[in-house]
Amino acid sequence: MSEVLHLANARLVLPNSIVQGQIIIVDGMIEAIEEGDRVPSGAVNCQGDYVIPGLVELHTDNHERHIEPRPKVDWPHVPALLAHDAELAATGITTVFDALRVGSILNANSGYRPYARDLANELLEARDAGYFKISHFLHLRAEICSETLLEEMAAFGPADRVGIVSLMDHTPGQRQFRDLTALKTYVAKKRGMNDAEFAEHVANRKQMQIRFGEKHEAGAVAEAHRYGAVLASHDDTTAEQVATSAANGVGFAEFPTTREAAAACRDNGIAVMMGAPNLIRGQSHSGNVAASELAEAQMLNILSSDYVPSALLLSAFRLAEIWDDLPSAIACVTHNPAKAARLSDRGQLKAGLRGDILRVGRAGTTPLLRGVWSRGNRVA
Protein backbone atom coordinates (compact mmCIF):
# COMPACT_ATOMS: atom_id res chain seq x y z
CA MET A 1 0.00 0.00 0.00
CA SER A 2 1.07 3.58 -0.62
CA GLU A 3 2.53 5.66 2.19
CA VAL A 4 0.24 8.68 2.65
CA LEU A 5 0.67 11.88 4.68
CA HIS A 6 -2.33 14.19 4.79
CA LEU A 7 -2.16 17.57 6.54
CA ALA A 8 -5.33 19.66 6.64
CA ASN A 9 -6.66 22.95 8.06
CA ALA A 10 -3.25 24.53 7.50
CA ARG A 11 -2.05 27.86 6.19
CA LEU A 12 -0.13 26.66 3.15
CA VAL A 13 2.71 28.98 2.16
CA LEU A 14 2.67 28.74 -1.63
CA PRO A 15 5.15 30.50 -3.96
CA ASN A 16 3.10 33.71 -4.16
CA SER A 17 0.36 33.40 -1.56
CA ILE A 18 -0.86 31.87 1.68
CA VAL A 19 -4.04 29.79 1.47
CA GLN A 20 -6.06 27.79 3.96
CA GLY A 21 -6.03 24.23 2.77
CA GLN A 22 -4.66 20.70 2.82
CA ILE A 23 -1.70 18.91 1.31
CA ILE A 24 -1.46 15.24 0.42
CA ILE A 25 1.87 13.41 0.08
CA VAL A 26 1.96 9.92 -1.39
CA ASP A 27 5.11 7.78 -1.48
CA GLY A 28 7.28 10.77 -0.62
CA MET A 29 5.95 13.14 -3.29
CA ILE A 30 3.37 15.92 -3.12
CA GLU A 31 0.30 14.58 -4.89
CA ALA A 32 -2.28 17.30 -4.32
CA ILE A 33 -2.92 20.70 -2.73
CA GLU A 34 -6.50 21.75 -2.09
CA GLU A 35 -7.98 24.94 -0.64
CA GLY A 36 -10.52 24.95 2.17
CA ASP A 37 -10.71 24.37 5.90
CA ARG A 38 -12.25 20.89 5.98
CA VAL A 39 -10.40 18.08 7.77
CA PRO A 40 -11.06 14.75 6.05
CA SER A 41 -11.05 11.52 8.03
CA GLY A 42 -7.48 10.36 8.66
CA ALA A 43 -5.91 13.77 8.03
CA VAL A 44 -3.83 15.63 10.61
CA ASN A 45 -5.62 18.77 11.77
CA CYS A 46 -2.94 21.47 11.73
CA GLN A 47 -5.29 23.92 13.49
CA GLY A 48 -4.22 26.84 11.34
CA ASP A 49 -0.47 26.31 11.63
CA TYR A 50 1.71 27.19 8.64
CA VAL A 51 2.89 24.43 6.34
CA ILE A 52 6.01 25.34 4.37
CA PRO A 53 8.62 23.50 2.31
CA GLY A 54 11.56 21.90 4.09
CA LEU A 55 14.52 24.23 4.53
CA VAL A 56 17.47 24.01 2.14
CA GLU A 57 20.89 24.79 3.67
CA LEU A 58 23.73 25.54 1.23
CA HIS A 59 26.59 26.33 3.62
CA THR A 60 27.13 24.82 7.03
CA ASP A 61 30.15 23.36 8.75
CA ASN A 62 28.00 22.38 11.72
CA HIS A 63 29.32 18.83 11.49
CA GLU A 64 32.76 20.09 12.54
CA ARG A 65 31.69 20.86 16.10
CA HIS A 66 30.29 17.33 16.40
CA ILE A 67 33.49 15.78 15.04
CA GLU A 68 35.72 18.01 17.19
CA PRO A 69 33.61 18.93 20.25
CA ARG A 70 36.74 20.26 21.99
CA PRO A 71 40.05 21.38 20.48
CA LYS A 72 42.06 18.33 19.36
CA VAL A 73 39.29 15.92 20.43
CA ASP A 74 38.49 13.67 17.47
CA TRP A 75 35.02 12.21 18.11
CA PRO A 76 34.03 9.00 16.26
CA HIS A 77 32.87 10.27 12.88
CA VAL A 78 29.78 8.22 12.13
CA PRO A 79 28.11 9.01 15.49
CA ALA A 80 29.13 12.64 15.00
CA LEU A 81 27.57 12.77 11.53
CA LEU A 82 24.39 11.14 12.80
CA ALA A 83 24.14 13.73 15.58
CA HIS A 84 24.69 16.51 13.04
CA ASP A 85 21.98 15.06 10.80
CA ALA A 86 19.52 14.75 13.68
CA GLU A 87 20.20 18.31 14.82
CA LEU A 88 19.49 19.70 11.35
CA ALA A 89 16.30 17.66 11.05
CA ALA A 90 15.16 19.02 14.43
CA THR A 91 15.55 22.59 13.14
CA GLY A 92 13.57 22.05 9.92
CA ILE A 93 16.47 21.59 7.51
CA THR A 94 15.62 18.75 5.10
CA THR A 95 18.37 19.33 2.53
CA VAL A 96 21.95 20.20 3.46
CA PHE A 97 25.18 20.81 1.62
CA ASP A 98 27.83 19.80 4.13
CA ALA A 99 30.82 22.12 3.74
CA LEU A 100 34.23 20.40 3.80
CA ARG A 101 37.49 22.32 3.51
CA VAL A 102 39.83 21.34 0.70
CA GLY A 103 43.28 22.91 0.69
CA SER A 104 45.64 22.53 3.63
CA ILE A 105 48.72 24.17 5.10
CA LEU A 106 51.30 21.71 6.35
CA ASN A 107 53.08 24.01 8.80
CA ALA A 108 53.35 22.12 12.10
CA ASN A 109 52.62 25.18 14.25
CA SER A 110 49.88 27.12 12.49
CA GLY A 111 48.71 24.82 9.71
CA TYR A 112 45.98 22.25 9.24
CA ARG A 113 46.01 18.93 7.47
CA PRO A 114 43.81 17.32 4.80
CA TYR A 115 40.62 15.65 6.00
CA ALA A 116 37.91 16.18 3.35
CA ARG A 117 38.32 13.03 1.28
CA ASP A 118 38.25 10.64 4.24
CA LEU A 119 35.31 12.40 5.90
CA ALA A 120 33.43 12.55 2.59
CA ASN A 121 33.85 8.77 2.26
CA GLU A 122 32.28 8.24 5.68
CA LEU A 123 29.48 10.71 4.98
CA LEU A 124 28.65 9.20 1.59
CA GLU A 125 28.73 5.65 2.97
CA ALA A 126 26.33 6.64 5.76
CA ARG A 127 24.05 8.36 3.26
CA ASP A 128 24.02 5.40 0.88
CA ALA A 129 23.28 3.04 3.77
CA GLY A 130 20.17 5.08 4.63
CA TYR A 131 21.38 6.22 8.04
CA PHE A 132 20.43 9.88 7.64
CA LYS A 133 17.06 11.49 8.26
CA ILE A 134 17.52 14.20 5.63
CA SER A 135 19.14 14.71 2.22
CA HIS A 136 22.91 15.34 2.21
CA PHE A 137 25.13 16.73 -0.56
CA LEU A 138 28.79 17.82 -0.52
CA HIS A 139 30.02 21.40 -0.60
CA LEU A 140 33.77 21.77 -1.07
CA ARG A 141 35.23 24.95 0.43
CA ALA A 142 38.25 25.56 -1.80
CA GLU A 143 40.89 27.39 0.21
CA ILE A 144 42.82 29.40 -2.36
CA CYS A 145 45.43 30.44 0.20
CA SER A 146 46.77 26.93 0.88
CA GLU A 147 49.41 24.48 -0.30
CA THR A 148 47.50 21.35 -1.27
CA LEU A 149 44.25 22.57 -2.84
CA LEU A 150 44.57 21.05 -6.28
CA GLU A 151 45.84 17.71 -5.01
CA GLU A 152 42.90 17.44 -2.62
CA MET A 153 40.35 18.44 -5.24
CA ALA A 154 41.75 15.90 -7.69
CA ALA A 155 40.64 13.15 -5.28
CA PHE A 156 36.97 14.02 -5.91
CA GLY A 157 34.91 13.35 -9.01
CA PRO A 158 31.41 13.48 -10.51
CA ALA A 159 30.29 10.38 -8.57
CA ASP A 160 30.80 12.16 -5.22
CA ARG A 161 27.67 14.30 -5.47
CA VAL A 162 29.64 17.53 -5.00
CA GLY A 163 26.91 20.09 -5.46
CA ILE A 164 28.81 23.28 -4.64
CA VAL A 165 32.41 24.49 -4.82
CA SER A 166 33.03 27.82 -3.10
CA LEU A 167 36.13 29.89 -3.77
CA MET A 168 37.56 31.02 -0.44
CA ASP A 169 40.50 33.37 -0.15
CA HIS A 170 41.21 34.01 3.52
CA THR A 171 44.41 35.99 2.92
CA PRO A 172 44.73 38.44 5.84
CA GLY A 173 43.92 42.08 5.09
CA GLN A 174 41.15 41.50 2.56
CA ARG A 175 37.58 40.24 2.18
CA GLN A 176 36.16 38.98 5.50
CA PHE A 177 39.24 40.01 7.43
CA ARG A 178 40.17 43.38 5.97
CA ASP A 179 40.41 44.46 9.60
CA LEU A 180 43.44 42.65 11.00
CA THR A 181 42.27 43.44 14.52
CA ALA A 182 39.16 41.32 13.95
CA LEU A 183 41.31 38.57 12.46
CA LYS A 184 43.68 38.68 15.42
CA THR A 185 40.80 38.32 17.87
CA TYR A 186 39.43 35.36 15.90
CA VAL A 187 42.78 33.58 15.51
CA ALA A 188 43.92 34.23 19.07
CA LYS A 189 40.71 32.72 20.44
CA LYS A 190 40.84 29.71 18.10
CA ARG A 191 44.57 28.95 18.19
CA GLY A 192 45.97 30.89 21.13
CA MET A 193 48.59 32.87 19.16
CA ASN A 194 50.71 35.57 20.77
CA ASP A 195 51.61 38.80 18.92
CA ALA A 196 54.77 37.41 17.31
CA GLU A 197 53.03 34.24 16.19
CA PHE A 198 50.15 36.25 14.73
CA ALA A 199 52.55 38.49 12.77
CA GLU A 200 54.26 35.39 11.39
CA HIS A 201 50.85 33.90 10.52
CA VAL A 202 49.86 37.00 8.53
CA ALA A 203 53.18 37.17 6.66
CA ASN A 204 53.06 33.46 5.78
CA ARG A 205 49.49 33.62 4.49
CA LYS A 206 50.18 36.68 2.34
CA GLN A 207 53.22 34.99 0.83
CA MET A 208 51.21 31.86 0.15
CA GLN A 209 48.58 33.86 -1.73
CA ILE A 210 51.30 35.34 -3.94
CA ARG A 211 52.69 31.86 -4.67
CA PHE A 212 49.45 29.93 -5.22
CA GLY A 213 46.49 32.31 -5.52
CA GLU A 214 46.09 32.64 -9.28
CA LYS A 215 46.87 28.99 -10.00
CA HIS A 216 44.56 27.71 -7.29
CA GLU A 217 41.62 29.87 -8.29
CA ALA A 218 41.81 28.77 -11.92
CA GLY A 219 42.25 25.15 -10.87
CA ALA A 220 39.32 25.21 -8.47
CA VAL A 221 37.04 26.66 -11.16
CA ALA A 222 38.10 23.89 -13.55
CA GLU A 223 37.51 21.20 -10.92
CA ALA A 224 34.02 22.54 -10.18
CA HIS A 225 33.19 22.18 -13.86
CA ARG A 226 34.58 18.63 -13.85
CA TYR A 227 32.36 17.68 -10.92
CA GLY A 228 29.31 19.36 -12.45
CA ALA A 229 29.06 21.55 -9.34
CA VAL A 230 27.66 25.03 -8.87
CA LEU A 231 30.39 27.61 -8.26
CA ALA A 232 30.06 30.09 -5.41
CA SER A 233 32.17 33.06 -4.38
CA HIS A 234 32.90 33.87 -0.75
CA ASP A 235 33.24 37.21 1.02
CA ASP A 236 33.34 39.38 -2.12
CA THR A 237 34.09 42.92 -0.98
CA THR A 238 34.53 45.09 -4.09
CA ALA A 239 32.84 45.41 -7.46
CA GLU A 240 36.11 44.27 -9.04
CA GLN A 241 36.03 41.03 -7.05
CA VAL A 242 32.44 40.46 -8.13
CA ALA A 243 33.43 41.03 -11.76
CA THR A 244 36.02 38.27 -11.35
CA SER A 245 33.39 36.03 -9.77
CA ALA A 246 31.07 36.65 -12.70
CA ALA A 247 33.84 35.84 -15.16
CA ASN A 248 34.45 32.57 -13.30
CA GLY A 249 30.79 31.63 -13.73
CA VAL A 250 29.78 32.01 -10.09
CA GLY A 251 26.10 31.24 -9.50
CA PHE A 252 25.70 32.71 -6.02
CA ALA A 253 27.75 34.80 -3.62
CA GLU A 254 28.25 33.66 -0.05
CA PHE A 255 28.25 36.50 2.46
CA PRO A 256 29.39 39.54 0.44
CA THR A 257 30.94 41.88 2.99
CA THR A 258 29.84 45.25 1.60
CA ARG A 259 26.78 46.85 0.04
CA GLU A 260 28.95 47.66 -2.97
CA ALA A 261 29.65 43.97 -3.56
CA ALA A 262 26.00 42.99 -3.07
CA ALA A 263 24.89 45.61 -5.60
CA ALA A 264 27.47 44.37 -8.09
CA CYS A 265 26.18 40.81 -7.58
CA ARG A 266 22.64 41.98 -8.36
CA ASP A 267 23.86 43.77 -11.48
CA ASN A 268 25.69 40.63 -12.63
CA GLY A 269 22.80 38.26 -11.98
CA ILE A 270 24.54 36.56 -9.04
CA ALA A 271 22.24 35.56 -6.16
CA VAL A 272 23.27 36.98 -2.77
CA MET A 273 23.38 34.69 0.26
CA MET A 274 23.72 36.13 3.76
CA GLY A 275 24.00 34.56 7.18
CA ALA A 276 20.85 33.99 9.21
CA PRO A 277 22.74 34.81 12.45
CA ASN A 278 23.69 38.17 10.92
CA LEU A 279 20.02 38.93 10.20
CA ILE A 280 18.85 37.85 13.65
CA ARG A 281 21.61 39.71 15.53
CA GLY A 282 21.30 42.79 13.34
CA GLN A 283 24.98 42.79 12.48
CA SER A 284 27.91 40.75 11.22
CA HIS A 285 30.23 39.23 13.84
CA SER A 286 33.15 40.42 11.64
CA GLY A 287 31.95 44.00 11.27
CA ASN A 288 30.77 43.56 7.66
CA VAL A 289 27.51 44.71 6.08
CA ALA A 290 24.32 43.81 7.94
CA ALA A 291 21.99 41.33 6.25
CA SER A 292 19.02 43.52 7.22
CA GLU A 293 20.52 46.43 5.25
CA LEU A 294 20.70 44.28 2.13
CA ALA A 295 17.19 42.95 2.77
CA GLU A 296 15.77 46.44 3.00
CA ALA A 297 17.53 47.30 -0.26
CA GLN A 298 16.07 44.18 -1.96
CA MET A 299 19.56 42.73 -2.42
CA LEU A 300 19.09 39.50 -0.44
CA ASN A 301 18.09 36.22 -2.10
CA ILE A 302 19.22 33.35 0.14
CA LEU A 303 19.80 32.81 3.84
CA SER A 304 22.18 30.29 5.39
CA SER A 305 22.22 29.10 8.99
CA ASP A 306 26.05 29.17 8.79
CA TYR A 307 27.09 28.31 12.37
CA VAL A 308 23.62 28.14 14.05
CA PRO A 309 21.29 25.55 12.46
CA SER A 310 18.21 26.80 14.33
CA ALA A 311 18.76 30.29 12.92
CA LEU A 312 17.45 29.40 9.47
CA LEU A 313 13.74 29.09 10.26
CA LEU A 314 13.83 32.02 12.69
CA SER A 315 15.56 34.23 10.15
CA ALA A 316 12.87 33.58 7.53
CA PHE A 317 10.16 34.84 9.86
CA ARG A 318 12.31 37.85 10.82
CA LEU A 319 12.81 38.58 7.13
CA ALA A 320 9.03 38.36 6.62
CA GLU A 321 8.65 41.17 9.16
CA ILE A 322 11.09 43.35 7.21
CA TRP A 323 9.40 42.69 3.87
CA ASP A 324 5.83 42.17 5.12
CA ASP A 325 5.85 39.21 2.75
CA LEU A 326 6.05 35.71 4.23
CA PRO A 327 6.06 33.76 0.91
CA SER A 328 9.07 35.74 -0.38
CA ALA A 329 10.89 35.32 2.93
CA ILE A 330 10.22 31.57 3.03
CA ALA A 331 11.55 31.34 -0.55
CA CYS A 332 14.92 32.60 0.74
CA VAL A 333 15.34 29.41 2.78
CA THR A 334 13.59 26.98 0.42
CA HIS A 335 13.07 27.67 -3.29
CA ASN A 336 15.88 30.18 -3.84
CA PRO A 337 18.68 28.02 -2.37
CA ALA A 338 17.28 24.94 -4.14
CA LYS A 339 17.31 26.85 -7.44
CA ALA A 340 20.84 28.14 -6.81
CA ALA A 341 22.00 24.55 -6.24
CA ARG A 342 20.14 23.33 -9.35
CA LEU A 343 17.71 21.19 -7.37
CA SER A 344 14.42 21.36 -9.25
CA ASP A 345 12.63 18.66 -7.24
CA ARG A 346 12.16 20.54 -3.96
CA GLY A 347 11.80 23.94 -2.31
CA GLN A 348 8.11 24.68 -3.02
CA LEU A 349 4.69 23.31 -2.16
CA LYS A 350 3.77 22.03 -5.61
CA ALA A 351 2.35 18.78 -6.89
CA GLY A 352 5.10 16.54 -8.22
CA LEU A 353 7.84 17.85 -5.91
CA ARG A 354 9.41 16.06 -2.95
CA GLY A 355 7.36 15.80 0.20
CA ASP A 356 9.83 17.74 2.33
CA ILE A 357 7.59 19.88 4.52
CA LEU A 358 7.36 21.59 7.89
CA ARG A 359 4.46 22.38 10.16
CA VAL A 360 5.13 25.65 11.96
CA GLY A 361 3.15 27.37 14.70
CA ARG A 362 3.97 30.63 16.46
CA ALA A 363 5.10 31.42 19.98
CA GLY A 364 4.53 35.17 19.86
CA THR A 365 6.77 36.32 17.01
CA THR A 366 8.93 33.18 17.19
CA PRO A 367 8.24 30.26 14.84
CA LEU A 368 7.43 27.05 16.70
CA LEU A 369 8.38 23.94 14.76
CA ARG A 370 5.70 21.28 15.26
CA GLY A 371 6.68 18.69 12.67
CA VAL A 372 9.32 17.90 10.04
CA TRP A 373 8.85 15.44 7.16
CA SER A 374 11.49 14.36 4.64
CA ARG A 375 9.97 12.64 1.59
CA GLY A 376 6.82 12.23 3.62
CA ASN A 377 8.58 10.49 6.53
CA ARG A 378 8.45 12.23 9.87
CA VAL A 379 11.99 12.98 11.05
CA ALA A 380 11.31 15.46 13.87
CATH at residue 372: 2.30.40.10
CATH at residue 325: 3.20.20.140
**Do 276 and 322 share a domain, yes or no?**
yes
8 A C-beta contact, residue 139 and residue 123: no
Instruction: Give me the pLDDT at residue 112, please.
Output: 75
Q: How far is CA 44 from the centre of its chain?
A: 31
Domains in the chain, number: 2
Q: How far is CA 101 from the centre of its chain?
A: 14
**Do 361 and 279 share a domain, yes or no?**
no
Please return the burial class of 290, using the count of CB atoms within 10 Å of its CB with bins 0-12, 13-18 and 19+: middle
Instruction: Give me the pLDDT at residue 309, please.
Output: 97
Which pLDDT tens digit goes with each residue over 282-328?
Answer: 988 777 899 999 999 999 999 999 999 999 999 999 999 999 999 99
**Do 332 and 352 share a domain, yes or no?**
no
pTM: predicted TM-score of the whole model, two decimal places: 0.91
Nearest partner of 165 among 141, 147, 135, judged by Cα = 141
Tens of each residue's pLDDT in the chain, 380 residues = 468 999 999 999 999 999 999 999 999 999 999 999 999 999 999 999 999 999 999 999 899 999 999 988 999 999 999 999 999 999 999 999 999 999 998 875 656 789 999 999 999 999 999 999 999 999 999 999 898 999 999 999 999 989 999 999 866 656 666 665 666 566 665 666 676 766 766 767 767 777 787 899 999 999 999 999 999 999 999 999 999 999 999 999 999 999 999 999 999 999 999 999 999 999 887 778 999 999 999 999 999 999 999 999 999 999 999 999 999 999 999 999 999 999 999 999 999 999 999 999 999 999 999 999 999 999 99
**Do 25 and 119 share a domain, yes or no?**
no
Instruction: Give me the pLDDT at residue 179, please.
Output: 63
Instruction: Give me the pLDDT at residue 29, please.
Output: 97
**Do 85 and 75 share a domain, yes or no?**
yes
**Do 82 and 145 share a domain, yes or no?**
yes
**Do 102 and 246 share a domain, yes or no?**
yes
CA-CA distance, 292 to 276, in Å (whole number)? 10
**Do 180 and 140 share a domain, yes or no?**
yes
**Do 83 and 103 share a domain, yes or no?**
yes
The residue range of the domain holding 117 is 55-344
CA-CA distance, 31 to 27, in Å (whole number)? 9
**Do 43 and 152 share a domain, yes or no?**
no
**Do 270 and 162 share a domain, yes or no?**
yes
**Do 44 and 188 share a domain, yes or no?**
no
